[in-house]
Structure 1
Amino acid sequence: MSTIRSAIVVGGGIAGPVAALALGQAGIEATVYEAYDTTADGVGGTLSIAPNGLDALAAVGLGGIVEELGSPITSMVMRNGKGRRLATLGSPAGLPAQRLLWRPDLYRALRDATASRGVRVEYGRRLTAVDQDADGVTAVFADGTTARADVLVGADGIRSRVRSLLDPAAPAPRYVGLLGFGARLGPGPVDASRIGTTGSEMHFVFGRRAFFGYVLDEDGSGGWFANLPRAASTTAAEARATEPAGWLRLLRETFAGDGLRMDDLIARTDPADLICVGGMEDLPTVPVWHRGRAVLVGDAAHATSPSSGQGASLALESAVELARCLRDLPYQEAFAGYENLRRARVEKIIKMGERTNSDKAAGPVARVLRDLMMPVAMRLMNPESFSWPMRHHIDWDAPVDGAAVTVQAPARAG
């Protein structure tokens, strides 16, 4: 039985607030410490919450929070740059539709949820050290303040400070060969002969030079994202240092030769609305998920590239499963059990995202083969081969079994 009563949660993005809320439901008082001085209102592009992510939210009393914010996506349509439909993936049978929403909207909803449940969030607390002893863990922040609790949860993203403190040899994020851009569109003219509206579909286009995804309503509002192959990575800060108008000009030129006129949507984009992600990254495997009284969750432990469509949903799952384990087991067993529940699943999905990245950056020969083979492969494919990640269910009320909590950590590369 667990004796954990308090937790420090480092990181106030998505995984952190949900971990704090889940811990609270498990009877553990959690406080969130965010490095930035203010809230992140207005920061971020689109993301999808898959059925498994909706399930995780419902497990901790947050059912409906995404449904109120996002648009249902009932199918995903794959097309080539000429507009030819290569394949359509419908929603898995028996599951709710995934939801497409903007990260700032989800961020605000989670912030409101933490406030309504009395979860304290402190800003301007950049972690510098973690000190542990037999009785608890102390977080040391750059402003000289400290916080003390029974356990510490690192939910501080792909460049996690907690991860580097637990394991100085931890791997760095891996660039996947693509730069990411996106924008939200207000109402505007739509020329269906060039690029049509999408309804409840999400369209993914394998252009000649880059990959493009978009949704477009009847009034012309919607959003788009683009993945531009590039050998050398660019940080988000470096990408933002380039004038947005310059990036938009490059993107228009990149897609101008395609028959499906994605450049129409780019041309409608206000440079002030362009989101520059920089180099897209993942973390294929993180050898150390926990040490002593500290543990990683979300992208700090298992960052998948955006191509998987599962990054946010996996973070939500892990936040909830960690809380279940800490509710029912002593922290040493809880952390091992949590990793045992999560590692194989998340690393398999990260590999799926890696394969999708390869398709997005296909060369001329590979592009022709993909366009020929994808329709055939989709007709022959067992639907469960792509829907299994979405069928994950968390039974919050089920006790966590402490009998099988040992997990074999992966060997280090090299």
Structure 2
Amino acid sequence: MSNNTTTFCDWRVEIYGCDGSNIFVIEVIISLISYALLSISGTLIFYYRYRYMWQGLFVDHGNGIRPLPVDCLLFFWTIASYIRALHSLLMLTNSYTSYLQRESIQELGFTVLCYGAVCYIIGIIYTIPVNYTSGKTTLKVDSKCNISDANMRDIILPRPRTLNYILAIWLLLPTVTVFPCAILSGIYRDHGDGNMGDHWTSIQYIVYFFIDLLFASVGAYYGINFMLILRGSMKEFNRKSANCHQSRNGTREALERLKYTMIYLAVLPLVSGPCWGMYGLARVKIISSLNLQNILFSAMWHTAGPQPLIAVCQYLLAKRVYQHYMGKPSSSQNGSTGSQSNLTLSQQRPTLARSPTSNDFGDYINQPSPNSSENFDIDLKIIQNNSNENNLLGTDFAVSVPAPAYGSEHDVGRRA
């Protein structure tokens, strides 16, 4: 297949034989380098987590499967980085032999990227404790600093089985919409019907607008409310526990990791969604002339797309892995790296330990001795285990109070 007859490039899948080829080649080189670095770093971080902190990508909690957000995010985004790096390499070396190959591989990278974001967001929703609802489908959470304040508002919280259906449908959404559009676009172009190919590509990016809008709205809604719950819980613990300050720094760092990840997951789709919607509506006009608009879209597609988001997430995870590797707790005292001394300490007094299905936050927050029943009388609206629902907590931060049914080795002494 030759591109010598083209006067402009569809810079997503071809960069030679058209006006502005030099600019597009530079963008693809930057894309290749960035994705290669992200692939290597993501592999190293994931390898360490797999060797020392592994609990799987999904957990069976009896009512279905729950994705562990951090591991799923890292796993799928590392694979997506490899696929995107491969696509950039094949374009630079002009090794593609058909448009079907070009469209399929470039779209596969973004589809896998969506898988990671979906699993992370659904995992965050699972992390909001179901037992807060007392059997209802909505969760009361305070939007103010004081949890006991009467000013409350509802959070929509689907049941675990409903979340399983949402997870399956959301994972299928990019698979059965944008990916088939990319395949059809490649097939029509290979058969010489460029107009139909352009038609399916336009549909592909219009659909991306709605997918990005869904990511932005759901990610922002549950991310903000989940952080309100965590911050409110920590304020309550600081007020009722004299020893809670020992884990304050570690908890704050966990909240920061969650905050930055959720901000990027919400903000990036909010910015990119309208851009790709406009690109889908006016695609032929945009790529048919070498102007500033065309260059900006191509630069965003190659070098300013998901790379910054992946880099930020890997940086936050690498910091957590480094603390674990060095054997240093996140807080100045009483941090835990899963040693026997921490297991003994946890068994001696009530502990805010990581949930049995939690994913990353492993710093134990020690409470006062159970002899002080007044201090241990923690607001059960904010933190309590529900043996029926198995307390589906687990991201960078997990809060659970071991009840007698959970007062075993399954609740304490787990590796961070």
TM-score, structure 2 as length reference: 0.30
More helix by share: 2
In our comparison, the structure showing a higher alpha carbon Rg is 2
More strand by share: 1
TM-score, structure 1 as length reference: 0.30
Higher-RCO chain (CA-CA 8 Å, sequence separation at least 6): 1
